[in-house]
Structure 1
C-alpha cells in the first residue's frame, strides 16, 4: 500500500530501547497490547504529536500494519527521522510469542 518509502522493521528487530507506539483504538488496546508500548490512538496523533520522542528510535504498531504505516508517513512529514512501521503489526507480535497483556494486567488478545 505504501511501498518502500515507509521504513519498516520486523517484530524481531524491536529492542528494549525502542519506543513502541501503539496507534490502535482504545478497545483494541484494552484487549491486548505489548507491555512496554505507549498508547496514542491514530486519530489523536495531531493533537498529541509532542508526546512522540524525536531523539530515539520509534516503532509504530497497529493490528496489521496499515494504520501504523500512515502514522509513520505523517511523522516523517513532520520531521521524525528515526521512525519505522512494524511489519505485520500486533498479529505478528503475538505470533512471534511476544507478550500481550490487557489493561487489567492479565494475558491479552489481539483484536
Structure 2
C-alpha cells in the first residue's frame, strides 16, 4: 500500500509516509462534519438549534461568513467551524456575533429560548 492514502476511523485521510493527516485539500467539508458529529457535546439538538438560528439570522441579513468574520476581526474559518458544528461558541461570542449582525443579543436569546423545550440538553 505504499504511496496510497488510507482512511482512518474518523474519516481523515492518512498519509502513508508519516501517518499524519495529509495536507493539500484532501480533507473535505463532509469529512470534517462527520468528525464533528462524533462529538456529542458539540451537537446536542438544542445546540444545533442555536447554530441554525444564527445561520438563519446571518443569511436573512444577507451577510456572508467572510463578512461576518471580518466584522468580528476573525478569520473566515472561525465562522465556518461554528456553522459546521466543529466549534462551540460561548456567551460572549454569541453576543459579539449577534451585534455584528446588528441584532439585539437579548431579544435573539429570548426568541431562541422560546423555541427550545422546557428542559434544555447540553
> TM class by shorter-chain length?
under 0.3
Could you say which structure has the higher helix fraction?
2
Normalized against structure 2, the TM-score is what?
Answer: 0.24
Could you say which structure has the higher strand fraction?
1
Structure of greater relative contact order (alpha carbons < 8 Å, 6+ residues apart): 1
Which one has a bigger Cα radius of gyration?
Answer: 2
